[in-house]
Structure 1
Amino acid sequence: MINLGSCLVVAGEKSGCGKTTVSLGLMKAFSLRGFKVQGFKAGPDYIDPSYYKLATGREGRNLDLWMLDEDTVLELFDRNSSGVDISIVEGAMGLFDGAYPDDKGSSAHVAKVLKAPVILVVDAGGSSTSIAATILGFKLFDSGLRIEGVILNKVGGESHLNHLRKAIEERTGIKVLGGIPRVEDIALGERHLGLIPAVEGDRLSEKIERVSTLLEKHLDLGYILKIANSSPDIPVYEKRVFIGEKREKVVRVGVARDRAFSFYYEDNLDILRFYGCEVVFFSPTEDERLPRGLDAIFIGGGFPEVYADTLEHNRGLREEIKAFSISGKPVYAECGGLMYLGKEIETVEGKRFAMVGAIPVKTVMRGRIKALGYREVVVEKDVSFFKAGDRFRGHEFHYSELIHEREPNFAFKVIGSTGKTAKEGIFFKNTLASYTHIHLASNPNSAKKIPERIKEISKNTQI
């Protein structure tokens, strides 16, 4: 029996405890039982949600309470969970870990805004009775949070599980929903920014099915369903993003989406569509030509450094994108897209590959993180998709740095979560490239004007 609006948050004691594997397994297991499942990710991660579609058949979504206010998070949750049987929200990092300095946007914060029950995933490898003290600490840390069950990962066997179950349930009053044995061949592949994006993965659907079979065997899915059914109705909120009727299409926007470029907040694309953009996907690694009749181009993040050789060899498309940029039509790029629009990418091994050359920079990959954190973007120039005065929130995470050929023109002032400011957003004509992945729902009033802004620029330019 499913209640309309059933929801649960799968949170972890820490990063790396297995919550992504558990979340995917639960999504797939309930999907195989015939339920419509929607996957969400707490926080800014755009890679984990790419896996959710493999498990559920539906695009994964983000719920981020630093980038977005509570009303907007509730609106996006309501919109994307409408018509489904169960929504599963995968947490980020540990349950109470959020943005500096107040842990805003943590998994616990998201759960409290949604009024959703929490299942805590705990790494039980090498643990004994003391694990109950850890779980009791999570229970007592915030009395406003409903931790309704615990899943133990990497248990050593039946006797180990029984010992831990007795200690946890007697000392904490929280039900142990099962224990997952250590299974090496279900681990998901990783690289420097986290998981390898689902679009690149090999036989991932089979691996997710194996995880769901494992969970069916070792977890009490019936009780987990009961926990999800205990979630109340979605709290009342003020609608701010998708207001009124969907607008007629006024512009055609080419969006780069393939194995090299897959980092997008899905709601951003929905916002563009809702307010008048026809979104047309193209592949910088595979397509020889741009789609016809484009008014603008949007190139998101990804791993262009991994596919640099393929991108370099697709010279015809690179030249088309450069000509599009030179024409003055709007081009907007984020992170990996910024790297692609530059003159070249140099890998950690020192290999160099030619890119589009629309902006006078080259990108050099480094062996360590160069930037990580939330950003507030203040637009200071009328350029590309944006107008001076627009403000958005977003996130930055990369291992690369830029080498400028000359003094750059910047369109953004970027403010970090600690208050530190910097100039960012390199532009040439109406081509704009930034390291920050912005969330358009952080400023719906500006976002809804983007299609008309593109139309205004495009009608006065031609290639």
Structure 2
Amino acid sequence: MVSHQAKVVLVSAIASGQGKTTTTAALARKLVRSGQRVRVFKTGPDFIDPMLLERACGHAVLSLDLWMVGHAASQALLAQAAMEADVILIEGVMGLYDGQPSSADLARAFGVPVLAVLDASAMAQTVGALALGLRDYGPVHLAGVIANRIASAGHAQMVAEAMRDIPLIGTLSRQEQTLPERHLGLVLPDEVSQLDTILDQLAEQLQLDMQAFEALPLTTFSVPETAIENTTPLAGKTIAIARDAAFAFIYPANLLCLQQAGASLVFFSPLADQAVPDIADAVYLPGGYPELHAERLSQASTWKTSILAHHAAGKPVYAECGGMMALTETVCDQQGQSWPMAGLLPGTVTMQKRLTALGPQYLSTSDGELRGHTFHFSNFSTSLTAATHAVKQRDTQQGEAVYQVGNLRASYFHAYFPSHPAAMARLLLGEAL
């Protein structure tokens, strides 16, 4: 069995909002600027953080997850990264022990040490108590702490003196210029003015004990011996994929999976009022922020006419979350303004002030489980009866509705295609699940 080694840490925290993404981005950029080869992964389902982290390290950021991605596939991704990189950073999700499986479960599964990011803005010595609790609750191999939002050198010293036997590997001062956020997470990287300048500034503000970081052990990853399926259920098919600021939520692994299944990919922009390419055998409308661009989408007559014609011709359409929203009759945005959409799905999507659904789910098909997740701030009111439903991973209760109109399937469910390529192909081709 072939094995590869690299320095690997899982960057986690006690909760969301501690600064995991900012710290991971700062650390990645700092290491890259020092001449090291860095690869970054994101734990669990996420679309926006990986885009930012890709800018920080210069390479595509893929997902790791013991359930959605799977143990063997996660191991293979880590082994490949270890072959190419000096350092691998894995950004955790929520708090270290949150979720089933949690970031801690992932760290233990692959023998990866944890680097805890703790917000020290309203405390000092108590940071040490939090670090001890994070280490011992699981336990996990806690390699050290990066204290975030440090106010002064004296503040940093008090934190350092409270750490006992846990290394304080770094500190990050309070940021004058932070990464902006909106519902669903951070603002898309292309919308942030001078993002690379901000990342460079964060790298400079990160005070890193390089000796302590370099002392972290190497982790060994073996390439799993799994049977390789050479099936190409999408051979000869051209899949047209919407890709712009309104339809940006797509796993890089999904694109690779489509290509490995034999599909040719073409991209188009509904926001730019581009038509569905004539050569498309099927259309894939991923999630994103259509509600932020509802006025432009409502005026995109070429796009709307082309998707209606594609559907009328009996060609398959698969739309998830934001993609589904763009196919409804109306979207009511955060300001209460209503905008006409493509109208293939009867009903209205209404934005809410709070999160309406979150969590891992799967579609049960004749080929097996197609895994993924749901995460949205809107409700869809429709006269349609669901053709089927996704299933919640946590308790196997009924999950998101999957609607079908002719050869169109649409749902709030976001599918992770590599979890079951054969089921993915059925979904894309409009075949019976």
TM-score by length of 2: 0.92
- Residue 150 of structure 1 and its aligned partner are, at CA, apart by 0.9
What runs of 5+ residues in structure 2 fail to find an aligned partner?
none
2:296 aligned with 1:277: no
Which of 168, 185, 194 aligns to 1:176? It is 168
Counterpart of 2:275 in structure 1 is 289
Aligned residue runs from structure 1 range 199-348, under 5 A: 199-215=190-206, 218-227=207-216, 230-235=217-222, 237-239=224-226, 243-244=229-230, 249-348=235-334
Give how far 1:70 is off: 1.3
Deviation at 1:61, TM superposition (A): 0.9
Q: How does 1:104-119 map to 2 (within 5 A)?
A: 104-119=100-115
Q: Please name the residue that 2:379 is paired with.
A: 401
**Superposed counterparts of 1:41-52, under 5 Å:** 41-52=42-53
Aligned AA (1:117): P
Q: Deviations over 1:136-156 (max 9, x none)?
A: 11221224x211111111222
Verify the 8 A CA contact 1:17 1:123 in the aligned structure 2: yes
Aligned equivalents of 1:149 and 1:243: distance in 2? 41
Post-superposition shift, 1:275? 1.4
The one-letter amino acid of 2:429's match is I
2:28 aligns to what? Answer: 27
Q: Does 1:136 align with 2:132?
A: yes
Determine the C-alpha separation between the residues in 2 that align with 1:330 and 1:49: 29
Say if 2:117 is the partner of 1:121. Answer: yes
Distance 1:353 1:213, change over 3 A: same
- The secondary structure found in structure 1 opposite 2:395 is coil
> Could you tell which deviates more after superposition, 308-317 or 417-426?
417-426
CA-CA distance at 1:389 after TM superposition: 5.4
The equivalences for 1:31-110 within 5 A come to 31-79=32-80, 82-98=83-99, 104-110=100-106
Which amino acid is the alignment partner of residue 214 of structure 1? Q
Pair 20,327 (structure 1): closer, same or farther in 2 beyond 3 Å: same
**Cα distance in structure 1, aligned partners of 2:310 and 2:34:** 48
* Identity fraction in percent: 31
Question: 1:72·1:239 contact (CA, 8 Å) conserved in 2?
Answer: no
Letter in 2 for 1:110: L
Of residues 454, 459, 462 in structure 1, which corresponds to 2:429?
Answer: 454
- 1:410–1:423: 8 Å Cα contact kept in structure 2? no
In structure 2, the residue matched to 1:164 is 159
Deviation at residue 122 of structure 1 after TM alignment: 0.8
| Comparing 126-135 and 73-82, the one that deviates more | 73-82
Count how many residue pairs are aligned between Structure 1 and Structure 2.
429
1:433 aligns with 2:428: no
C-alpha distance in structure 2 between counterparts of 1:415 and 1:150, whole Å:
34
How many Å apart are 1:35 and its aligned residue? 2.6
SS at match of 1:26: helix
Report the AA paired with residue 425 of structure 1: V
Cα distance, 1:222 vs structure 2: 4.6
Q: State the shift of 1:332 in Å.
A: 0.6
Q: Is the 8 A contact 2:13 2:116 kept in 1?
A: yes
Change (3 A) 1:361 1:75: farther
What do the CA deviations read for 1:8-54 (whole angstroms, capped 9, x no partner)? 11111221111111100111122222333221111112211111221
Separation in 2 of the partners of 1:330 and 1:206?
43
Shift of 1:245: 9.2
Residues 5, 82 of structure 2: 8 Å contact kept: no
- In 2: Cα distance, 1:41 partner to 1:204 partner: 20
- For 1:261 and 1:82, how far apart are their aligned partners in 2? 33
What per-residue deviation string (whole Å, max 9, x for no partner) do you get for residues 339-396 of structure 1? 01111211132211111112222211111221111212224xxxxxxxx554212111
